[in-house]
Amino acid sequence: MKPIAIVTDIEGTTSSIRFVKDILFVYAEQFLPDFIRKHKEERDVARQLRSLSDNTGIPLKNTEALIEQLRRWMREDNKSTELKALQGMVWEMGYQRGEYQAHIYPDVPDKLREWLDAGINLYVYSSGSEKAQRLFFRYSVFGDLRLMFAGYFDTSIGPKKEVQSYRNLAEWIALPPEDILFLSDVEAELDAAAAVGIKTVWVVRPQETGADVTKLKSRHPIVSSFADIRIEEL
């Protein structure tokens, strides 16, 4: 039976991991401090700084110490809510200024369009915040792709390697798991999805891993491009 909904990961699946690591994270490291100094009185920024101050005990008026905390978290890749929210604001600024566009592999948009034409609903499930996901597809190298997706899920439904997260996902999409197909570059995420009965395809981008796809073995079907995904054969 063909899936009725397809859920895709972003990093390593629709898009290069390098874009996020080498462009987005580097940009945030560079511009977050000045962004905070400049906008700390504005409502959205002020709210995050207040919450950061409450959670760490750093006095709200000590802007530089708050910035230092955020920089430490960025180095440690700590995904605190405040850091994620503030990073999202800085990334939005970068996208709007045209500093970069989100990377999408060229085989992706055509396939998404083909699935939409076949009446399939598309969703995203990624560890980036929902806001960051929307920005990503809004400012992509293929233009604004946001409307292709019926919904965006982040780790507020659960961590990506946990089985319960995929139960939650199916519940949100309101379909039986076997009507859903999940695409990811991480086998452990696919294992968790398959454990609840969701169909899976392992997307292994040779551009990312240098892996020889023909030599990989897995319980999940393996492709190196969206063009090779045949939903009628799953």
Binding site for Mg ion (CB under 5 A): 9, 11-12, 185
Nearest distance, CB of residue 160 and Mg ion, angstroms: 8
Nearer to Mg ion, 36 or 102 (CB): 102
Nearer to Mg ion, 9 or 82 (CB): 9
Q: Which residue in 232, 234, 33 sits closest to 114, CA to CA? A: 232
Q: Check: CB of residue 219 under 8 Å from CB of residue 173.
A: no
> 3-state class of 89 per DSSP?
helix
Nearest distance, CB of residue 188 and Mg ion, angstroms: 11
Q: Check: CB of residue 20 under 8 Å from CB of residue 11.
A: yes
DSSP 8-class letter at 214: G
Nearer to Mg ion, 10 or 180 (CB): 10
Nearer to Mg ion, 178 or 187 (CB): 187
Nearest distance, CB of residue 142 and Mg ion, angstroms: 19
Nearer to Mg ion, 35 or 202 (CB): 202
Nearest distance, CB of residue 64 and Mg ion, angstroms: 35
Long-range contacts of 165-173 (CB under 8 A, 24+ apart): 165/192, 166/192, 166/193, 166/195, 166/196, 166/198, 167/196, 169/7, 169/125, 169/193, 169/198, 170/196, 170/198, 173/5, 173/7, 173/121, 173/123
Residue nearest to Mg ion (CB): 12
Nearest distance, CB of residue 15 and Mg ion, angstroms: 9
